[in-house]
Structure 1
Amino acid sequence: MATADKVFVNGKIYCIEPRNKCVEAVAIKDGKYLAVGTEKEMEDFVSSVTEVVDLEGKTVLPGFHDMHTHAINGAYKQIFECSLPEGQGITLDLILNVIREYVKDHPDFKWITGGNWPFHLLSQLHKELLDQIDSTRPIILIDFSTHNAWVNSKTLEIAGIDSTTPDPEGGQIIKDDQGEPTGVLLENALNLIQPHIPERKKEDIYKAGEWLSEYLNSFGITAIKDPAVYEELLDVYVSLAKRNKLHFRLATHLLWKCDYGNAIPYEQQIELVYNRDKYKHDRINTNYAKMFLDGVPAFKTGAFLEPYAGDKKENYDWKKMLLVDPEELKEDLVKLDKEGVTVKMHATGDAAVRIGLDAIQAAREQNGYSGLLHEIAHNGWVHREDIVRFKKLHAVAEFSPMFWYPSVFHKQKETILGKERADRTYPIRSIQQTGANVVRGSDWPIVPTPDPWVALETMVTRQNPYIDSSEILNPDEKLKLEEAIELFTINAAKTMSLEHVAGSIETGKFADMIVIDRDLFNISSKDISNVKVLETLVEGEVVYESKGEKSLEA
């Protein structure tokens, strides 16, 4: 009989598979579960060298997975950029005060960068507001979607943008009645300023990476997908892994023919995908790519089958909203599928979702089922006829960010899309009920935090967790708690090809687990967002321990 390195007893340990299985003890050896069951059953694995930990009745779950987090970039923004306030009731005055203080506190910064300004302020934004704060240094503030920017006059001057500058393809320079740029740049217009922004210091990016693991582990996150990775980020991830500082499992979606957020030419992106193997590590899987099919509804750049509210149908062509040619997309999917590369496609509108599914169908028809679980990311709106296609095509529906509840953002969508269509947002349960694989991503730092507990609560309630309100958004799409947890655990593990080693607490799997401060199945669903992680373990080793709580003792 093997001897365990650690045994955890006296707990409520939710195994996830099979569903609703709960045990009181586990034994761990060499980073994997040696046994799962009763405290009595664990006695056979205990010797004088075994560390026995009393869970004191606390709840244990498998480590959570975040299937859409721009992790290093989020960490960098948190540490080195001006982070604007987010949430309900954010005003322009509040944002300007934050910018003003940040500029004053960083006199040595040659460029002021940051962001996450909300869409509802768009009509109020102007370069002169930023000029009044600082007209000598360029200021660039990205919106919550990362697709648009608000800049001052100095930035426009450096980029050579003036009244004569034409809109780039797929983008717009907002101009006033006199034809002068206002300082707001939409979609691909960001590419006009991108080449002028100084490169981030390598040492700062590494500092962000060093900070990242503990931050993610503090939320119980033990595996992630970074959905927009390029060589600079790969170098950091690999460095962390080689120094045993990457305390989570990682899948890197390498950019493929993408313009957003970087100035890397297509040729370099494609070359990196084909040279991806040199970055592999035990905890890093690089067999993934990322494409953008459309923009975002808030700025009327999401591709919808029907026109936006107030737009005339005879003047509307949804194909012009796409960022890719549908036939080229099919060719690329077929090619990448054959190469063993799993593709994640950004698609917010139902037209974009449809062409993404069409491309996956083309790959299945030409290559057969390769076993690769290609993904549609976001899925804000999915046409009813396409709901069943996810299951049929072995396609993954990844839902992010977490605004599947009534909020100021949803009110904006009602204005842009019309209330009936807006209220059909995020059909999580509809797709889940077909038997398709459904997962969740945070999209941090598009949202202010990768904290999964707010997202879990709102997936179950479809209510705003920050206010006392009975209003529910699309209640038919609520999930049961046990269903919702699977999106964060075993379902996500499948999309990372880790279901045999992670995603549930089972004998032979890696001991990636979290200890939390309350029993999810015996509290109000409105209390889920208050969950605190006490400990996070990866392969049986404690990688995070809450400083505010009494630690578990052997």
Structure 2
Amino acid sequence: MAPADLVLRDGSIYTVDAVRSWAHALAVREGRIVYVGTESGVVPYIGAETEVLELKGRTVLPSFQDVHIHPVTSGTVAAGFCDLSGVSTREEYLALIAEYAAERPDVEWIRGEGWSMDVFPAGVPDKQSLDGIVPDRPVYLGSSDGHSAWVNSKALDIAGITSDTPDPADGRIDRDPVTGEPVGGLQEGAMNLVQPPQYTADELDAGLRYALKMLHGYGVTAFQEASADREVLETYRRLDEAGDLSAHVVAALWWERERGEEQIPELIAKREEFSAGNRRATTVKIMQDGVMENHTAALLEPYQGKPGGTGISFVEPGALKRIVTRLDAAGFQVHFHAIGDAAIRQALDAVEAARTQNGERANRHHISHLQLFDPVDIGRFRELGVVANFQPLWAYADGYITDLTIPFLGPERSRWLYPIGSLVRSGAIVAFGSDWSVSSANPFEAMEVAITRMGPDGESDAPFLPGERIDLPTALAAFTIKAAYVNGIDDATGSIEVGKLADLIVLDRNPFEVPPAEISEIEVLLTLFAGAPVHGDLLH
């Protein structure tokens, strides 16, 4: 037998195979796993040139995969623009913005993102505070969830937005209730009324490199890019052709909701153009509604205190059925954004229509976010083969839940917020993503919340809907083999089995041996992508 290139031994290797078995050693040759088993069984694979890593009891897992994330744009902001995600109060935001602007007097636009809606009254930011620190240049700052923008008066003036400007069909200009004047918040489609300069190719490339380094540090080597326009696709292609795309990437092509089915041939052409190397443009992203906090999530019943207000369905449900049926027939996976119970039902109805017309095509459609359910729809995920794509870090009682969601839903509906456990018990396939930079890309933080339903940094003192907690093996599977299933690469990665790629991580402690409230503290010591280190090294 030919010797291996790399052997890992004296470890606790959790394989995430079909029976969730454990092993003590593994061998890798030419980037693939050739042996998984015992200490004695790996000895024949050790040759004169084999590199042997003594694990000293450390834990090995398949590397993680993220099924909803924005590495290019989020990395670009974090690498070189006004990133507000590291602070959490209005005063801290303003201090950081003022510092950023003062250090860059020649920059025409102050751009960035990362502010949280729960910091502002009713979730609406104000232009006056920005005017006080940057009066002479336009400021455009996206919210952490990507559904709102905070702008100053200069940006509104450049865009020509006044009290007479109508709200777009898919968004809202926040206004003074007396005068109708814009106050500085733009919701959903209204964000597009202000057009700051596009990021350059160099800025985007630097952003993706930043994101890859960060993700590898968290043990992530595969992900689904949740919003891929041409500039994002070109960024992945540049890094891939340079040999620097050290991840498996599935790009979700953006469905332009202001257009119709005439864009499908363009999407097919993009799939052909941008599927090569470590990337596949085989998914289409449809944003069906907004978010709960600004009342644009689509609900079956009105928000409390908002008579007739049921949010926005961005794609008319009948049209959605036709679109998804055609995309399914063309071999695309559809990745839905659905927050509200109406949007979730509309997405499920569209998949059901596609199955009725096309039969079962195994395109592995998935619905992300899944904040509010009507419980009658929970069983439909298994019945229709739709994957439940949760961002579990959101499933605890933070300000978004306690201040901006529950008061507008009431207790009966709020019982069905992020019902991860119910979906698991129903037999649905459940996979996890981060939606970074909306929230942390660290899978261990997300898994801790899924298991405890409490904040990973002590933000809560009681579990939120404790009946929806899941166990550790289920959480690990959601970030490994189940995520690989969504990404269409479960035959090649997602578990530690002979023949699969050596996409592996080594941890500083065993998650099965630490209290659930300490899972978020686990660190990744080594990340391998096809057997090659992309984080840490083999000597330390």
Instruction: Give the structure 2 partner of residue 21 of structure 1.
Output: 21
Instruction: Give the structure 2 partner of residue 120 of structure 1.
Output: 118
Instruction: Give the structure 2 partner of residue 294 of structure 1.
Output: 289
Superposition RMSD in Å: 1.8
Match of 2:352 among 347, 361, 379: 361
Instruction: Give the structure 1 partner of residue 241 of structure 2.
Output: 242
The alignment-based identity, stated in percent, is: 37
- Say if 1:134 and 1:265 are closer, same or farther in 2 by CA, change over 3 A: farther
Kept after mapping to 1: 8 A contact 2:79/2:210? no
Name the aligned partner's letter for residue 352 of structure 1. Answer: A
Instruction: Give the structure 1 partner of residue 107 of structure 2.
Output: 109
CA–CA separation in structure 2 for the residues paired with 1:148 and 1:62: 36
Paired residue secondary structure (1:297)? coil
- Say if 1:202 and 1:282 are closer, same or farther in 2 by CA, change over 3 A: closer
Deviation at 1:185, TM superposition (A): 1.4
CA–CA separation in structure 1 for the residues paired with 2:270 and 2:228: 13
CA deviation map 1:374-430 (0-9, x unaligned) = 111111112111100001101011012621112122112112222342342111111
Instruction: Give the structure 2 partner of residue 308 of structure 1.
Output: 303
Kept after mapping to 1: 8 A contact 2:264/2:327? no
CA deviation map 1:91-141 (0-9, x unaligned) = 322221121111112212110011222222343632121111111100011
Instruction: Give the structure 1 partner of residue 229 of structure 2.
Output: 230
CA deviation map 1:278-312 (0-9, x unaligned) = 21123211111000111100000101112112233
Deviation at 1:535, TM superposition (A): 0.5
CA–CA separation in structure 1 for the residues paired with 2:481 and 2:200: 37
TM-score (ref. length: structure 1)? 0.93
Instruction: Give the structure 2 partner of residue 156 of structure 1.
Output: 156
Paired residue secondary structure (2:18)? coil
Paired residue secondary structure (1:460)? helix
Match of 1:338 among 297, 317, 329: 329
Paired residue secondary structure (2:206)? helix
CA–CA separation in structure 2 for the residues paired with 1:518 and 1:341: 40
Instruction: Give the structure 2 partner of residue 256 of structure 1.
Output: 255
Instruction: Give the structure 1 partner of residue 274 of structure 2.
Output: 279
Is 1:444 aligned to residue 436 of structure 2? yes
- Say if 1:337 and 1:85 are closer, same or farther in 2 by CA, change over 3 A: closer
Deviation at 1:85, TM superposition (A): 4.3
Instruction: Give the structure 2 partner of residue 178 of structure 1.
Output: 179
Instruction: Give the structure 1 partner of residue 34 of structure 2.
Output: 34
Range moving further from structure 2, 238-247 or 535-544:
238-247
CA–CA separation in structure 1 for the residues paired with 2:401 and 2:17: 35
Name the aligned partner's letter for residue 285 of structure 1. Answer: R
How many residue pairs align between the two structures? 536
- Say if 1:468 and 1:306 are closer, same or farther in 2 by CA, change over 3 A: closer
Kept after mapping to 2: 8 A contact 1:217/1:544? yes
Name the aligned partner's letter for residue 154 of structure 1. Answer: K
Is 1:508 aligned to residue 507 of structure 2? no
CA–CA separation in structure 2 for the residues paired with 1:125 and 1:279: 38
CA–CA separation in structure 2 for the residues paired with 1:125 and 1:43: 63
Name the aligned partner's letter for residue 293 of structure 1. Answer: Q
- Say if 1:339 and 1:164 are closer, same or farther in 2 by CA, change over 3 A: same
- Say if 1:280 and 1:30 are closer, same or farther in 2 by CA, change over 3 A: same
Show structure 2 runs of 5+ residues with no match: none
Instruction: Give the structure 2 partner of residue 432 of structure 1.
Output: 424
Deviation at 1:433, TM superposition (A): 1.6
Kept after mapping to 2: 8 A contact 1:257/1:270? no
- Say if 1:269 and 1:116 are closer, same or farther in 2 by CA, change over 3 A: farther
- Say if 1:97 and 1:337 are closer, same or farther in 2 by CA, change over 3 A: same
Match of 1:418 among 399, 402, 410: 410
Kept after mapping to 2: 8 A contact 1:230/1:269? no
Paired residue secondary structure (2:347)? helix
CA–CA separation in structure 2 for the residues paired with 1:153 and 1:468: 35
Name the aligned partner's letter for residue 442 of structure 1. Answer: S
Instruction: Give the structure 1 partner of residue 189 of structure 2.
Output: 188
Deviation at 1:270, TM superposition (A): 5.8
Name the aligned partner's letter for residue 70 of structure 1. Answer: H
TM-score (ref. length: structure 2)? 0.96
- Say if 1:132 and 1:445 are closer, same or farther in 2 by CA, change over 3 A: same
CA–CA separation in structure 1 for the residues paired with 2:274 and 2:314: 29
CA–CA separation in structure 1 for the residues paired with 2:426 and 2:412: 23
Kept after mapping to 2: 8 A contact 1:85/1:95? no
Paired residue secondary structure (1:132)? helix
CA–CA separation in structure 2 for the residues paired with 1:328 and 1:267: 13
CA deviation map 1:422-472 (0-9, x unaligned) = 34211111111222111111001112x311110011111111221275400
- Say if 1:269 and 1:71 are closer, same or farther in 2 by CA, change over 3 A: farther
- Say if 1:111 and 1:336 are closer, same or farther in 2 by CA, change over 3 A: same
Range moving further from structure 2, 417-426 or 493-502:
417-426
CA–CA separation in structure 2 for the residues paired with 1:78 and 1:266: 35
CA–CA separation in structure 2 for the residues paired with 1:161 and 1:60: 55
CA–CA separation in structure 1 for the residues paired with 2:126 and 2:46: 67
Paired residue secondary structure (1:68)? strand
CA–CA separation in structure 1 for the residues paired with 2:470 and 2:35: 31
CA–CA separation in structure 1 for the residues paired with 2:460 and 2:209: 40
- Say if 1:270 and 1:476 are closer, same or farther in 2 by CA, change over 3 A: farther
Name the aligned partner's letter for residue 232 of structure 1. Answer: E
CA–CA separation in structure 2 for the residues paired with 1:83 and 1:442: 18
CA–CA separation in structure 2 for the residues paired with 1:234 and 1:266: 21
Instruction: Give the structure 1 partner of residue 131 of structure 2.
Output: 131
- Say if 1:241 and 1:536 are closer, same or farther in 2 by CA, change over 3 A: same
Match of 2:481 among 470, 480, 490: 490
CA–CA separation in structure 2 for the residues paired with 1:210 and 1:489: 23
Kept after mapping to 2: 8 A contact 1:10/1:25? yes
Deviation at 1:64, TM superposition (A): 0.2
Instruction: Give the structure 2 partner of residue 524 of structure 1.
Output: 515
Kept after mapping to 2: 8 A contact 1:346/1:377? yes
Name the aligned partner's letter for residue 439 of structure 1. Answer: A
Is 1:218 aligned to residue 217 of structure 2? yes
Instruction: Give the structure 1 partner of residue 386 of structure 2.
Output: 395
